[in-house]
Structure 1
Amino acid sequence: MTSAPAIGFDYRPSRLTGGLLGIVTALGLVAVALSGAPLWLKLVIAAGSLALAFVATRRLTLSRIAGVGYGPDGWTLYQADRTPLPARLLSHRVIGGCVLLRLKTDHATEVLLLAPDNSDADIRRRLRMRLAAQSAVAEAL
């Protein structure tokens, strides 16, 4: 049996997560505004929520990862300067047409969302099939 070809693709953060974060933040601010808390507490909570949303959005948009490779030797993440980082898959989830990957390098844990706005449908399909086959093998052991 021949091995499956390697999967490689460029990665950029999805705008979908930023949009969802904005919606959740706006709903949280509405909830705080409609609560019965004193005005000073509403202002503190609103300011804290906005600051945390800003930090999370900045963290999402400044990804260190520019590319991903998955082949017989395992996972490799490529930084912006194209230096390779060997990685190990911690977990994956398929949510609708999106694939969420948690990969561990020597330095950090990277969470990558492959959505329709930042990856090709064929790449996501091939990746879902390969991950499903890998999970079936792991369950059989």
Structure 2
Amino acid sequence: MTSAPAIGFDYRPSRLPARLTAIVGALAFVAIALSGAPLALKLLLWAGTLVLAAVVARRSMRSCIVGIGYGPEGWALYRADRTQLPATLLSHRVIGTCVLLRLRTDETTEVLILAPDNSDPDIRRRLRMRLFAQAPTAGIL
């Protein structure tokens, strides 16, 4: 499968980071409630936690990238207007069934999460195989 000429697919942000942020925020609320801090400080900490959790969740759900391509000429990201941005893979990580990609374009660095809720299992499998094949230590145990 690593000899396939190209992999291309649509991308939408995963809801997984927002859900994890909500869980961590809820745990922080409980920790603040159980602390021995004065009520005024608890209220301030709760407000700060709520604002930070909302900002992080919103940021994780926004992406100007709607498509990803990977072929012999390298990586390409596509915007909503279908303009192509050439990209360089900075790093990747496979965590369970998720694939995390950190790609740099001329303008910015994009962190893209391919999870079960936003990508096809076959795409993730093919991508894992291609990433493993191109890794400098591929095949070394």
| Superposed pair shares fold, TM > 0.5 | yes
Where does residue 85 of structure 1 map in the other structure? 85
Where does residue 55 of structure 1 map in the other structure? 55
TM-score (norm 1): 0.92
Where does residue 97 of structure 2 map in the other structure? 97
Where does residue 12 of structure 1 map in the other structure? 12
The amino acid that maps onto 2:19 is G
TM-score (norm 2): 0.92
Matches within 5 A, 1:16-31: 16-31=16-31
What CA RMSD, in Å, does the superposition of the two structures yield over aligned residues? 1.4
**Residue range with higher mean Cα deviation, 37-46 or 117-126:** 37-46
1:139 Cα deviation after fit: 3.0
Where does residue 68 of structure 2 map in the other structure? 68
1:4 Cα deviation after fit: 2.6
1:3 Cα deviation after fit: 4.4
Is the 1:3–1:72 Cα contact (8 Å) retained in structure 2?
no
Quote the sequence identity (%): 72
Q: Aligned partners of 1:20 and 1:133: how far apart in 2? A: 31
Where does residue 45 of structure 1 map in the other structure? 45
Structure 1 unaligned spans of 5+: none
CA offset digits 1:7-66 (Å, max 9, x no partner): 000000111121111111100111011111111111111111111111111111221110
Q: Aligned partners of 1:82 and 1:96: how far apart in 2? A: 31
Which consecutive aligned stretches of 4+ in structure 1 deviate over 4 angstroms post-superposition?
none
Q: Aligned partners of 1:88 and 1:49: how far apart in 2? A: 35
Where does residue 137 of structure 2 map in the other structure? 139
Greater fraction helix = 1
1:106 Cα deviation after fit: 1.1
Is the 2:94–2:128 Cα contact (8 Å) retained in structure 1?
yes
The amino acid that maps onto 1:56 is V
Q: Aligned partners of 1:60 and 1:82: how far apart in 2? A: 21
The count of residues paired between Structure 1 and Structure 2 equals 137
Structure 2 unaligned spans of 5+: none
